[in-house]
Amino acid sequence: VPTAGQISFNGQGLMKMPTHRIIAAGIARTFQSIRLFKDLSVLDNVRIAHYAQVKYGPLAAFIRTKGFVEEEKNIKEHSLALLRIFNLERYVNTLGKNLPYGEQRRLEIARALATRPRLLLLDEPAAGMNPGEIALLMELIQRIRQEFKLTIVLIEHQMRVVMGICERIKVLDFGETIAEGKPTEIQNDPRVLEAYLGKEE
């Protein structure tokens, strides 16, 4: 089992890089366990993700300069646009903790997109969802990939999701790569079938 390695993005090593610099490098992620600001509104959950990139400083915010007002207007408009994409606009003033589970999952992805990433990491986004929510999620992932022209790395155990939306798949077994290729290649790979379905005695 591998115990060491390196992670780099566009030639930059990420292993010791703090989170704010990873975001600035163009990487955003969601988590397997939902991490919303549960006592903030849906709109504020998305708005807050923009603040790693704002150009104004504390003084400009305090005296409400023209630049501050303009940037805040743009942040709100961008946040609302993302909420519309994820069918969350009707929940604008709802607290994060009061959203249904499937909507919380979608809100977390919308918040990640607010940082304008080039690479989006989704950690088991379909976990705990019902079939209808999964179908909607799959449509949304395909839409944002096309609209935002970004790369998506998906970690997922729901084979319906993996086979339905991934262009290339890497299969790990106890930390080691056992197969890599297109969905049709993975479906018929004997090592994958043995690892996930077992081997006949």
- The residue range of the domain holding 153 is 8-166
Residue 74 lies in a domain: yes
Residue 185 lies in a domain: no
CATH of the domain at 64: 3.40.50.300
Give the residue-averaged pLDDT of 3-15: 84
Could you read off the pLDDT of 67-89 as tens digits, one per residue? 778 888 889 999 999 999 999 99
Say how far apart CA 132 and CA 139 lie, in whole Å. Answer: 11
Task: Tell whether the model's pLDDT for residue 58 goes beyond 80.
Answer: no
Higher pLDDT, 55 or 110: 110
Phi then psi for residue 12, to 5 deg, are -100, 130
Give the residue-averaged pLDDT of 169-194: 89
User: Which tokens go with 117?
Assistant: 């990433």
* 8 A C-beta contact, residue 113 and residue 28: yes
Q: What is the pLDDT of residue 42?
A: 97
Say how far apart CA 114 and CA 60 lie, in whole Å. Answer: 22
Residue 197 lies in a domain: no
User: Which tokens go with 178?
Assistant: 């056992």
Residue 57 lies in a domain: yes
Say what the alpha-carbon torsion angle 117, 174, 7, 112 is, to the nearest 10 degrees. 20
Give the number of domains in the chain.
Answer: 1
Confidence (pTM): 0.85
What does the angle CA 28 – CA 31 – CA 36 come to, to the nearest 5 degrees? Answer: 90
* 8 A C-beta contact, residue 62 and residue 69: no
| Residue in this structure with the two tokens 């798949």, named with its chain if needed | 169
Residue 65 lies in a domain: yes
Residue 51 lies in a domain: yes
Residue 194 lies in a domain: no
Residue 124 lies in a domain: yes
The length of the chain is: 201
What does the angle CA 79 – CA 117 – CA 46 come to, to the nearest 5 degrees? Answer: 25
Could you read off the pLDDT of 45-56 as tens digits, one per residue? 999 998 877 777
